[in-house]
Structure 1
Amino acid sequence: MAGLSPGIFAAALAVTLFAGFVKGVAGFAMPLIMMSAFSSFLPPQLALAGLILPTLLTNLSQAFRQGVAPAVQTARTYRRFLAATLVFIVISAQFVHVIPERAFLLGLGLPVTAFAVAQVMGLSLALPLRHRHGAEWALGAVGGLYGGVSGIWGPPLIVYLLSIKADKAETVRVQGVVFLMGAVVLCGAHLATGVLNAQTLGFSAVLALAAQLGQIGGNRLQDRLDAVAFRRWTQALLILTGLNLVRQALMG
């Protein structure tokens, strides 16, 4: 239980179960939801440790849901984005101990809120890519810089996929592959920094089981519900989570 009271531990499980459910339906947003909620009652480094194994397990399921061959091909096609993301996760993870808590919350909350508001308003997030290879390197690096300190590197990837007009199946699969490989590197990086240790690994492993259960339920519901309508609710939720992070950064 990582030294937490039963009530706090139960709250962490409930948040993770819900976040896994949202990921099962929408394909993303689990770390955003977890970090926003966790920051209300957990120290930042314990919150980061808690989401690492859930992210690893759920993205393993998402990446290989359509089979091994499509996942391998996706890794080859998006190798530049992957390489940039993974390298910068390792680099930025080294600074997790020196970033002030309020700066961490504000730096995460503002771009998440802006990203979600843009989606809800129907604003195009697609970029006019003249040089696709360069865009992969640049956006992958941005995602990795955020990922190493927060466990979240999805928004730059989503912007890139919108820009190249990837279809729905490819979008979900690419997210799974990139998030999975990033989670593997993030796990290794924070085993080295000490964020993941004997105490926090057990905590993260229990949360991973809750996330997987939530994802299974979300996948089943995705097959029966209007995914577009549910994504709108998810986007509204992202706005609330982003604003909550900003509130905590400004008010303490």
Structure 2
Amino acid sequence: MPAGRRRPVLRRIGAMALSQSLAQSPFVLPALVAGVFLLAGLVKGVVGMGLPTVALGLLALWMAPAEAAALLIVPSLATNLWQMQPWGRLLPMLRRLWPMQLGVVAGTVGGAWCFGALAGAWAPVALGLALVAYALWSLAGLRLAVAPGAEPVLGPLVGGITGLVTAATGVFVLPAVPYLQALRWSSDELIQAMGISFTVSTLALAIGLRLGDGSAEMAWGLSLGMLVPALAGMALGAGLRRRLSPAVFRRCFLAGLLVLGAHMVLRELLR
């Protein structure tokens, strides 16, 4: 067998052996999943995003993407609700962002209904490449800007596209995060705005999983159990974020996008 064909076969055999080993060790898999959520929570605490992307990418080593997404619902919802603080400025943000959030719900639920949740093997690669391109572009010093008068039109459009991407990949960041960043909020305001958007996306994804893939079981017990490591990781990450300067925070935020995008692309190419 040629070497080029032998490597994918060996990887599949290795993955099958790993899955069988985990299945025979009932304590190993929960520990690994908890470690994934601890790491994903840490990333989210620092950059305000990344829990679904990091967790989905790692959990996909052991389970189908739809099953991994089902595990994400409770930790993602809880951490995003936490991220929506402080509550005092929540209503003004909701007044500004509600058209975008309607688009998110429509795109996610509609995409899951029409195409099935987490459908399309090409979607993670496309999303990863877009994340890498956006991060490199931003690190080069280029910035988007959205005029206030354009928000009523761009908000629902960006939300709808974000919803379609969420239905296809389970990840909420594009094009929502570049759009929110273009609104020129402070770092804390940006984190809160992303918390609002990600909360809505999580709820819409939960509905989409039910509508689009009846085989994806909602493992509420295990998902609820992953709250502890996810919140612990997020608390650690939030502590680090408070100690960073705005410039360092921005670089960490963009570096997070770059790493997440590269991870998604490499995961698919190395299968």
TM, length-normalised to structure 1: 0.84
- Per the alignment, in what secondary structure is the counterpart of residue 153 of structure 1? coil
Alpha-carbon spacing, 1:113–1:39, altered in 2? closer, same or farther (3 Å): farther
**How much has 1:57 moved relative to structure 2?**
0.6
Deviation track 1:50-82 (CA, whole Å, cap 9, x = no partner) reads 22222101011111x212x42233212211111
Letter in 2 for 1:44: P
Q: Deviations over 1:188-213 (max 9, x none)?
A: 33234336535x22232222332112
Structure-2 residue corresponding to 1:223 = 242
Does 1:23 pair with 2:44?
yes
1:111 equivalent in structure 2: 130
Of 233, 236, 252, which aligns to 2:255?
236
Residues 90 and 30 of structure 1: is their aligned pair in 2 closer, same or farther, counting only changes over 3 Å?
Answer: same
Give the structure-2-normalised TM-score. 0.79
The corresponding residue for 2:217 is 197
- Structure 2: runs of 5+ lacking an equivalent: 1-21
| Structure 1, unaligned runs of 5 or more | none
| Alignment-derived partner of residue 85 in structure 1 | 104
Alignment: residue pair count: 246
Amino acid at match of 1:201: W
Q: Which has the higher contact order (CA 8 A, sep 6+)?
A: 1
* Structure 2 CA distance for aligned equivalents of residues 98 and 15 of structure 1: 20
Equivalent position to 1:96, from 110, 116, 120: 116
Residues 105 and 245, structure 1, Cα contact 8 Å, conserved in 2 = yes
Question: Which digits, 9 at most, give the CA deviation of each residue in 1:140-186, with x for residues without a partner?
Answer: 11111111232222232222223232232321221111211221222
Is the contact between residue 111 and residue 117 of structure 2 (CA under 8 Å) also seen in structure 1? no
Q: What CA distance in whole angstroms lies between the structure 1 residues aligned with 2:161 and 2:172?
A: 8
Of stretches 91-100 and 133-142 in structure 1, the one that deviates more from structure 2 is: 91-100
AA partner of residue 75 (structure 1): L
Identity of aligned residues (%): 26
In the alignment, which of 163, 166, 182 is matched to residue 144 of structure 1?
Answer: 163
Q: Which of 36, 40, 52 in structure 1 is aligned with 2:57?
A: 36
Q: For residue 32 of structure 1, what is the amino acid of its counterpart?
A: T
From 77, 81, 88, the counterpart of 1:56:
77
Q: Report the Cα distance in structure 1 between the residues aligned to 2:246 and 2:222, rounded to whole angstroms.
A: 32
Cα separation, partners in 2 of 1:39 and 1:234, compared to 1, 3 Å: farther
Cα pair 2:37 2:55 within 8 Å, conserved: yes
Computing the radius of gyration from Cα coordinates, the structure with the larger value is 2
Question: Alignment RMSD, CA only?
Answer: 2.6
